[in-house]
Amino acid sequence: MKITALTTYLVAPRWCFLRVDTDEGIVGWGEPVIEGRAHTVAAAVDELADYLVGRDPLTIEAHWQTLTKGGFYRGGPILSSAVAGIDQALWDIAGRALGVPVWQLLGGAVRDRIRVYSWIGGDRPDAVAEAAVERKQQGFTAIKMNASAELEPIDTPRATLGIVERVAAVRAAVGDEFDIAVDFHGRLSVAMARRVLPLLEPYLPFFVEEPLVPEVSERIGEIASATSIPIATGERLYSRWDFRRVLDQGIAVVQPDLSHAGGISEVRRIAAAAETRDIAVAPHCPLGPIALAASLQVGFATPNLLIQEQSLGIHYNTGSDLLDYLVDPAVFAYRDGYVELLSGPGLGIEIDEDAVRRAAGHRWRNPVWQRRDGSFAEW
């Protein structure tokens, strides 16, 4: 079997899908994307196709090594995301060729189902408690929320207390048999993190995600040691070498993204490294159905999985949602906050190719925020 073509599709709301064709008619799908840089990642996939066309799709590790290391300039989110989507598609082909799910190729399932969480708002605070109750009524047992808009390096008491009040309102609305993860998108400085997080402790967050930007990952240990709240990070770390900077700093959860951090092959290694430190894995995935399917395939075979993010109904997905590109949306039918073991071959989903081809593309860009004085603020 030989690879014959790699084709990328920019699909709404902000995703990039990859189709890999073979001369035996087996097709694999992947999701190579950096949100807001989808065109750039698609161009990187096109460059990597020069190496892949004509080669055996089943020598996945050899391709991973060459694609990540074969260029003199290595690493970074664009290359890693391009490789991630290709890697997903090659695992999809391998599973389809053998008639088994990818989790079977990874050593078999260690669980029957995976707990998932859903998103609500919070960074432009409005009705977060009501949104959390709605998710609870839909059957979810956990949500993730932002708790702040843009912040000053050391913000006012009012801004600090506003964060606490939003989390407190959600806790009061959903009760104590429900988990609340709080995402800061790197908006806290070290000083603000040390001020804010102890005040959130009475509300027992499931975890606090990315309190600091990844550029100062070497200081996240200071945050972990200053609070009893589990600290999670990793959506903007792209390899096991990036994660090496944070694994021994007392964090509780790593969050590699299957579409950013080198795909199935690399996230498996990141998860194994985390397991040796008693750190759980909760893959980042506010993306499309292919990325979610790849995340679940890894999760079913990963002992230290905690929970899986998924994007159904997330605020980015206006006009096109997670299930719109699937032949059978029931594969992601959540029951009591869980998704059942995927049984289909490869990634376990069937892409609606007509829907993909009808997609008009996109040029999604993330917002750019400013502080009160007009300087740049983390979004």
pLDDT tens figures, 139-166: 999 999 998 999 999 999 999 999 999 9
| 96 shares its domain with 56 | yes
Query: Considering 100, 129, 158, which residue would you say is the last residue of a domain?
Result: 100
| 226 shares its domain with 326 | yes
| 171 shares its domain with 302 | yes
- Within a domain: 358: no
Residues belonging to the active site: 185, 284
| 201 shares its domain with 131 | yes
| 31 shares its domain with 125 | no
- Within a domain: 108: yes
pLDDT greater than 70 at residue 120: yes
Three-class DSSP category at 129? helix
- Within a domain: 305: yes
| 63 shares its domain with 167 | no
| 118 shares its domain with 88 | no
Q: Residue 135's domain is classified under what CATH number?
A: 3.20.20.120
pLDDT greater than 80 at residue 126: no
Q: State the pLDDT at residue 316.
A: 81
CA gap 328, 344 in Å, rounded: 11
Q: Residue 82's domain is classified under what CATH number?
A: 3.30.390.10
- Within a domain: 330: yes
CA gap 171, 343 in Å, rounded: 36
Three-class DSSP category at 9? strand
The average pLDDT across 77-84 equals 98
Query: Considering 100, 120, 141, which residue would you say is the last residue of a domain?
Result: 100
In which band, very low, low, confident or very high, does the pLDDT at 349 lie, cut at 50, 70 and 90? Answer: very high
Residue-wise pLDDT tens digits, 177-234: 999 999 999 999 999 999 999 999 999 999 999 999 999 999 999 999 999 999 999 9
- Within a domain: 352: no
- Within a domain: 65: yes
Q: Percent of the chain beyond pLDDT 70?
A: 99
Note whether 2 and 25 are within 8 A (CB).
no
CA-wise closest residue to 259 among 4, 18, 7 = 18
Q: For residue 55, give its domain range.
A: 3-100
pLDDT greater than 70 at residue 84: yes
CA gap 297, 104 in Å, rounded: 9
Q: Which two tokens stand for residue 44?
A: 């990187």
Provide the domain count of the chain. Answer: 2
Q: How far apart are the first and last CA of the chain?
A: 45
| 87 shares its domain with 127 | no
Query: Which ranges constitute the DSSP H helices of the chain?
Result: 38-52, 60-69, 77-98, 102-105, 128-137, 157-174, 190-200, 220-224, 240-243, 263-275, 289-300, 353-358
| 190 shares its domain with 133 | yes
Q: State the pLDDT at residue 125.
A: 64
| 287 shares its domain with 321 | yes
Note whether 207 and 181 are within 8 A (CB).
yes
CA gap 301, 270 in Å, rounded: 13
- Within a domain: 366: no
| 123 shares its domain with 44 | no
CA 31 to chain centre: 12
Q: State the pLDDT at residue 122.
A: 76
Residue-wise pLDDT tens digits, 234-264: 999 999 999 999 999 999 999 999 999 999 9
| 15 shares its domain with 115 | no
Residue-wise pLDDT tens digits, 2-60: 999 999 999 999 999 999 999 999 999 999 999 999 999 999 999 999 999 999 999 99
Query: Considering 78, 100, 122, which residue would you say is the last residue of a domain?
Result: 100
The average pLDDT across 91-98 equals 98
CA gap 56, 374 in Å, rounded: 53
Q: Which two tokens stand for residue 343?
A: 């049984």
Q: Which two tokens stand for residue 349?
A: 């989903």
Residue-wise pLDDT tens digits, 277-311: 999 999 999 999 999 999 999 999 999 999 999 99
- Within a domain: 9: yes
Q: State the pLDDT at residue 123.
A: 75
Q: State the pLDDT at residue 339.
A: 97
Note whether 200 and 225 are within 8 A (CB).
no
Note whether 128 and 60 are within 8 A (CB).
no
